Chains A and B, each alone.
Chain A
């Protein structure tokens, strides 16, 4: 099925460990995004990539890095995990064209716990 695939779905890290969250989309979308969602909160943008080869900081980029590996894949890396990064992480993609806009397509999320 077409859509956004995130791996892993669940992860527990110890403080100071590193990991990479993977995201891939097969809809030929040009823009991709990483959001985090904390309990009772809306989604906050971490990083985004408007097109292949470009990345930009969002609202809460500290402690994260991203890589737009190709048009399909956009990964999020935590170099040294902290308990404050315990959250649900969502990847999204978007076709940035007014005539063909159907909104963002989100993945099912990665639930990350840092202990």
Chain B
């Protein structure tokens, strides 16, 4: 399983765009990149997933360069409610066989200030 590296913490202000970059140098051909969000006292929540180029949904955008050795989660115009821990995970999402787990690191603690 590919290891990921992301900043421990980030600060931002309401209304700003926040970009969190994750490094995954050993990503495998079958691996997808997935981001989760976790609020205090809650389980993580799936945000976005991608394989290459750019993916956008109603919550965030995910930018993946051609070499796929890193990815950037972009949160447009953050609000106080976006204060949370964000996890970057890399792994094969088709776990039918001996695979079956994703590794959650410590994540990036995003603090949004007024």
Contacts and interface: CB of A to CB of B under 8 A. Distances in A.
A2 interface: no
Nearest to A54: B100
Nearest to A46: B101
Given A35-B104, A42-B87, A48-B101, A106 B45 contact: yes
Given A42-B87, A50-B100, A108-B43, A31 B95 contact: yes
Interface stretch (B16-24, B34-42, B60-68, B70-78): B34-42
A56 interface: yes
Interface in A49-72: 49-51, 56, 58-59
B114 interface: no
Interface in B70-99: 87, 93-99
A42 B43 contact: no
Interface in A22-54: 31, 33, 35, 40-45, 48-51
B101 A33 contact: yes
A56 B100 contact: yes
Interface in A79-115: 90, 92, 94, 96-98, 101-109
A42 B49 contact: no
Contacts of A96: 93-96
A46 to B, nearest CB: 10
